[in-house]
Structure 1
Amino acid sequence: MTDLRIDLRIDLRRGGLITAALALLCSVFLVLPANADPAPFDDCPPATLCLYSGPGGTGERRDFTDRQSQESHGADWDGRTLSAKNNTALWACAYVDPGYGGLFETVKPGNSDEYTTDARFTGTLSAHKLVPNRALCFTGYERCPDNRVCTFAEPNGRGAMTVHLPATDPATQNYGNRHGAGTALPASVWNRTAKHACFYPEASFTGTWDDPASQRKFGAYVVLRGDSTSLPKPFAGTFRSHELVNGTDACQ
């Protein structure tokens, strides 16, 4: 009788061990299913902004480093981005127009974004930049080289940029530039030279503006050395020439 109880106890113990082992094996299969699909955007490398030609991180992928911005993605990629993963520590700014122009979206560090539900951004993105904070998405002045006057087609240094090289005008003997017919009429300016810039509505470094708001007449619009500005009315989109002078009293 004693031997029977011992054998029964041993059998019960063995049965419990087998049941526990089977439960553990089943839990492994539940947690790690076979042939699991990768998570969306899982293929984007660290310190990289990844642009995808399909939604949800699908399609062709194009990578940019965490310090690489593009004023234009070029004809082979303009308008192709439908989703993005910002796998960097910086803010990503995605623009509809080249030159950081037009409408734009911002993507937080580590976040992803989709461009399939809003027609303004679906198949329209053409440029991007990576910046330390979101406020810098609203400007593009940083593109202007040192010792140059730069004019921009949009306010806040955004849009098409024209870099003006100082050149002596034979008529005035001042350092000036006539803005060519193909030059985008500026909506903003950065004067990165050591001289003051005097802007005019005529290509001959002359002309005046009538400002109905103040009922004043202006013979030149001055941007001081080192200053950047978005142009108010009636000056926006009217500059045809400028000169660089040592003192503002030297403006024509």
Structure 2
Amino acid sequence: MIFIRTYIRRASLVSALLALLCSAFLSAFLVLPANAEAQPYEDCPANTLCLYSGSAGTGERRDFTAGSTQSSENAESYPDWDNKTLSAKNNTGLWACVYVDGAYGGLLQTIKPGNPDDYTGDARFTNTISSHKLVPSRAHCFTGYERCPDNRVCTFTQERGRGAMTVHRPATDPKTLNYGNSYGPETAVKSVFNRTGKIACFYPEPGFTGTWTDGPTEAEQRKYGAYVVLLGENVSLPAPYAGTVRSHELVNGTSECQ
């Protein structure tokens, strides 16, 4: 009986020691230190695009909430934040597009829904971000035509509707009785969206006139009349039209182009 009692006492002691060891082992993995550091980007709220002034989600933060009336989800410029972004977290269900120029212009980067991005490793994007937008697909990052209001002709300083946009309001020209606008050489038009119900005729002269020419020599040069953009059509202007448009008018048929 003495032997049996001793064995039972020793077994109980071993069990107690094992329980203490297991408890300490689990505590080491389950209990976080009180001063645990925050993970990169974890401060970015849901449904928000967060831009940071530091790398990897550090520094000052700017929030743009998707679909919010309190904060615009898209920004063609940053009055107090231009060229300050070094990293970003797209915590939305949309694609985020960031651009080095204002008005969705210049080089761009795309960020998948839920993903972060850092711009400290590429000098082209380090402290150069000047605009952004949130869109339903990555393809929308490469165009900016959606900014053009209905019943307007919109011209853009970059291809595919990107860059600074000028909205032309149709007005009756007393001479031709057609709708038309003239604009100066400071507007280098690279693309066009005709959101009116008429045909747009573009010209190299301010008064809805002129022709374009191309060719290496005068003998080989060909002449081109008005550049036509059909109703509802958007297009990047090819050479020799790109950057040389000075006026346009709206007509009912292509034969009316002067």
Q: Distance in 1 between matches of 2:139 and 2:53?
A: 27
Q: Is the 8 A contact 2:185 2:244 kept in 1?
A: no
Correspondence list, 1:100-115, <5 A: 100-115=104-119
* SS of equivalent to 1:203: coil
Structure 1 residue 187, shift from structure 2 partner? 0.3
Structure 1 residue 70, shift from structure 2 partner? 1.1
Equivalent residue, structure 1, for 2:201: 198
Q: Distance in 1 between matches of 2:158 and 2:117?
A: 26
Structure 1 residue 31, shift from structure 2 partner? 4.0
Q: 2:234 is matched by which residue type in structure 1?
A: S
**Residue 216 in 1 paired to residue 222 in 2?**
yes
Q: Distance in 1 between matches of 2:31 and 2:85?
A: 33
Number of corresponding residues: 249
Q: Distance in 1 between matches of 2:183 and 2:16?
A: 88
Instruction: List structure 1 segments (4+ residues) > 6 angstroms apart after TM superposition.
Output: none
What do the CA deviations read for 1:103-133 (whole angstroms, capped 9, x no partner)? 0001111111001111110000011111111
Structure 1 residue 14, shift from structure 2 partner? 3.5
Equivalent residue, structure 1, for 2:70: none
Q: Distance in 2 between matches of 1:180 and 1:21?
A: 84
Equivalent residue, structure 1, for 2:63: 63
Q: Distance in 2 between matches of 1:10 and 1:61?
A: 63
What TM-score, normalized by structure 2, do the two folds share?
A: 0.91
Structure 1 residue 72, shift from structure 2 partner? 1.2
Equivalent residue, structure 2, for 1:243: 249
What do the CA deviations read for 1:155-185 (whole angstroms, capped 9, x no partner)? 0000010000111122222110001354x21
Q: 2:84 is matched by which residue type in structure 1?
A: R
> What are structure 2's unaligned runs of at least 5 residues?
68-72
Structure 1 residue 6, shift from structure 2 partner? 1.9
* SS of equivalent to 1:168: coil
Structure 1 residue 151, shift from structure 2 partner? 0.3
Structure 1 residue 218, shift from structure 2 partner? 1.6
Q: 2:231 is matched by which residue type in structure 1?
A: R
Equivalent residue, structure 2, for 1:231: 237
Q: Distance in 1 between matches of 2:116 and 2:89?
A: 4
**Residue 159 in 1 paired to residue 163 in 2?**
yes
* SS of equivalent to 2:207: coil
What do the CA deviations read for 1:190-244 (whole angstroms, capped 9, x no partner)? 0000000000000011110113399532220110000000000000001111000
Q: Distance in 2 between matches of 1:211 and 1:220?
A: 14
Equivalent residue, structure 2, for 1:10: 9
Q: Distance in 2 between matches of 1:212 and 1:20?
A: 91
What TM-score, normalized by structure 1, do the two folds share?
A: 0.93
Percentage of matched positions with identical amino acids: 61
Q: 1:42 is matched by which residue type in structure 2?
A: E
Equivalent residue, structure 2, for 1:171: 175
Equivalent residue, structure 1, for 2:21: 22
Q: Tell which deviates more after alignment, 240-249 or 165-174.
A: 165-174
* SS of equivalent to 1:167: coil
- Which residue of the other structure, out of 79, 87, 98, is the alignment partner of 2:91? 87
Equivalent residue, structure 2, for 1:39: 39
Structure 1 residue 20, shift from structure 2 partner? 2.2
Q: Distance in 1 between matches of 2:39 and 2:250?
A: 57
Q: 1:63 is matched by which residue type in structure 2?
A: D
Structure 1 residue 32, shift from structure 2 partner? 3.3
What do the CA deviations read for 1:133-170 (whole angstroms, capped 9, x no partner)? 11111100000000000000000000010000111122
Equivalent residue, structure 2, for 1:136: 140
